Structure 1
Amino acid sequence: MVVRVVGAWWLLYVGHRNGRSLHTMLSAWDGQWMLALAGHGYDHIPPELTDAHGNISADTAYAFFPGYPMAVRALHALGPSTYAAAIMTSLVAGAVATVAAYRIGRWCAQRRWPEDQPQADRAGLIMAVLFAATPMSVVLTMAYTEAIYCAFAGWALWMILEKRWIAAGLLTACAGLTRTTAVGLIAVLLIAAFLSRRDGWRPWVGAALAPLGWLFWMVFVGIRVGTPTGWFRVQSTGWDTRFDFGAATLRYLVDTLSLNETAGDVITAWVIVATIVLIVLAFVTRLPWQVSVYGTLAASTVLLSTGLMNSRVRLLLPAFVLLTPVALALAQRSRTTQITVGAATTITSAWFGAYMLGIYPYAI
């Protein structure tokens, strides 16, 4: 709560100084697409909304998964405006995701220090703070999909760790209706269920449920576009997003760190580098394989593909479990160090989020 309040206060101030309203900033860029989908559906998109090339076709809107717009529309039906419903959905989902981050951090700490529950609780709390104060955590209060995806994915991962297979499968299916990042989560659940195949029928049911949401959207868009790879075609045509083994990310890092003078791009580049370091740390520190593999796969869907590089910090948010080694390390430090790091990350997150929404001129 404190992290969000600090971020909201600074966002209001930066918006005021730059002549931008809070309403405009929290529904900027893809937020306009989310509001249009929730308010009008996929076949009645306002003509002013276009893809990254300034074009729009009958299939352009289908690049966006339906989970978040559906949730917003359901809440809107109860009375709030579409905008209010979108922000409320993200706020609640962001809070739910933060609790999931706490549970995952505490679970990992309990396995490392089984006889020190207070330290495990501290690790969970630090994990929650780190998640809430990631550089682009402002998106958890925007009309974007990150909050609801992280809520579904975070709790699904915790259910996998706890071997609650039916709940894990259902939550993973919901995550699959929200973002394609869910393919990493689906893979982890399938592997975990296979390794527990002798535990009865529940792992099999969880594994069967897990891919349903993602597969539904792939099949639906594929039928509409007329090809099994329809969703990927829409993404590639409209937003230049395709798998390239990280070539575009590498070019961006080299160019940005050697030539770019814009704070948003330079920090984005360093966040990408930090993410790669965190992937290594996840395995070096021997986190539970479910956490390491999911974090790596979630980050890989971003780092190994082309697309708008300016949005990489936001797109990496679903890989928040990679922060677990940092949380575990801080849990062993003094209270002063923990408070100092928490305050520093909160202030940095507030500044960066407000900068990217209120000052940075490009899409995020």
Structure 2
Amino acid sequence: MTAARARPYLHAVGVFLLVRLSGLVVLAILAGNRHRELFDVLKSWDGDWYLAIAQNGYDNVPARFVDAAGQRTPTTPLAFFPLYPMLIRVVSPITGSDSVAAALLVSLIAGCAAAAGIFRVARIVDPRPKTGLLLVALWGGAPMAITLSMAYTEALFTALAAWALVGVLERNWLLAGACTAAAGLVRPSASVLVGVVALAAIVAVFREGKAWQAMVCAVISPIGLFSWWGYVAKQTGSLTGWFDIQRQGWFSYFDGGRQTAQFFGDILDTGNSVMETVTMLLVIGAVVLTFLIVFSRLPWPLWLYGGGTVFMVVVTAGITYSKARFLIPAFPLLIPVAQGLANRKRHTMIAATVAFVLFGSWFSAYSLTGWTLAI
């Protein structure tokens, strides 16, 4: 890639880093006010699990690590997918065997790759560079985007999802298949990405000339996800082993949206906390944006992936306060917002984007310092 062609992507990465830096500054301020160390906050909750797996392997995670129900079985660590802790272990020698630094470095690199992929997707649907830069800023500064800078999988998964969608839109089926297969080893929400990419590949088999490449994509896309589910099934002796671990340990299962509806009803009735109220509003906003992108002129793989991610968030029971971060990989939802801002006057565009990023930075920091339950 020539310097001229690479420059817009460097700008996109620069925007991402600037936005994430602002989020970390806000987090450092709020953490300091509560006498907490920044690096300790950045490895909270699931981060501790991934670090323990990276350091000890699945079989030797210390007994103090328990699930959301406060319980622990030999198979409890298998709830966490393997690629992220594997990368932590690979990168760890570079950081002097400091697993926390390695995890944050993996997230940083993955976040930059995700920003470049998201910018590429935006350029495909809207050639104006500012639309792509706005999309990166909105995604990187969204509420709960702090997880992109934590020992969490959001950055890695979004990077793989973004480049998988680039592969689909540009008919680079081997890229799409490889990224989707890898995403299946990162988190269970890859099921949506697998479905979208495999469907697009199958459609291409019947419509386009490079049928063998699309067929390879359709075949390899689910390999990562199915391999991990199959491995957990073997370890637990049950075909539904991974799902059983999730249901029993983290109360996560398909319920058709019943828990989400009940949660919304409770919040509308009582409005007990900022965390609960904002989470409800974010999910409602995501649903509204889903309808917007479905009826827009976006390529169907984008709205199907974004809408499918929202659907899974709504119809899956579990830790309700995690729903906001589960929406982070659904970046296509923000494309119409980025396009709308790109059509505004410069000062309006900048002011609205800065306000959004500041709100997202505050809510992210609050969720880790002011809120005491898991995210």
TM range (shorter): over 0.9
2:278 to 249, 252, 267: 267
Letter in 1 for 2:140: A
Q: Which residue of 1 aligns with 2:82?
A: 66
Q: Which residue of 2 aligns with 1:7?
A: 23
1:2 deviates by 1.7
1:247 deviates by 0.8
Q: Which residue of 2 aligns with 1:87?
A: 104
Q: Which residue of 1 aligns with 2:10?
A: none
Letter in 1 for 2:98: S
CA distance in 1 between counterparts of 2:110 and 2:227 reads: 23
Q: Which residue of 2 aligns with 1:143?
A: 151
Q: Which residue of 1 aligns with 2:328?
A: 317
Alignment deviations for residues 151-174 of structure 1 (CA, whole Å, 9 cap, x no partner): 111111111111100011000001
1:245 to 227, 245, 256: 256
Q: Which residue of 2 aligns with 1:133?
A: 141
- After TM superposition, list the pairs within 5 Å mapping 1:222-241 onto structure 2: 222-241=233-252
CA distance in 1 between counterparts of 2:123 and 2:340 reads: 13
Residues 244 and 306 in structure 1, CA contact (< 8 A), matched pair in contact too: yes
Number of paired residues?
355
- Structure 1 runs (4+) deviating above 2 angstroms are 77-80
CA distance in 1 between counterparts of 2:26 and 2:200 reads: 42
CA RMSD of aligned residues (A): 1.1
Q: Which residue of 2 aligns with 1:100?
A: 117
Alignment deviations for residues 28-77 of structure 1 (CA, whole Å, 9 cap, x no partner): 11111010011101011111110011000001000110010011111113
Letter in 2 for 1:219: G
1:343 deviates by 0.6
CA distance in 2 between counterparts of 1:60 and 1:39 reads: 16
Q: TM-score, normalised by structure 2?
A: 0.93
Letter in 1 for 2:222: P
Q: Which residue of 1 aligns with 2:268?
A: 257
Q: Which residue of 1 aligns with 2:132?
A: 124
Letter in 2 for 1:199: G
Alignment deviations for residues 322-345 of structure 1 (CA, whole Å, 9 cap, x no partner): 111111121211111210111101
Shifted more, 259-268 versus 50-59: the winner is 259-268
Determine what percentage of the aligned residue pairs are the same residue.
Answer: 37
Alignment deviations for residues 3-30 of structure 1 (CA, whole Å, 9 cap, x no partner): 1111111111111111111021101111
2:48 to 14, 28, 32: 32
Structure 1 residue 185 and structure 2 residue 193: aligned? yes
Q: Which residue of 1 aligns with 2:170?
A: 162
1:109 deviates by 1.3
Q: Which residue of 2 aligns with 1:50?
A: 66
Residues 105 and 327 in structure 1, CA contact (< 8 A), matched pair in contact too: no
1:330 to 333, 341, 349: 341
Q: Structure 2: where are the runs of 5+ without partners?
A: 1-16
Residues 184 and 222 in structure 2, CA contact (< 8 A), matched pair in contact too: yes
Residues 257 and 269 in structure 1, CA contact (< 8 A), matched pair in contact too: no
Shifted more, 193-202 versus 172-181: the winner is 193-202
Alignment deviations for residues 268-321 of structure 1 (CA, whole Å, 9 cap, x no partner): 010010000011001122311010001111222221110000111111111121
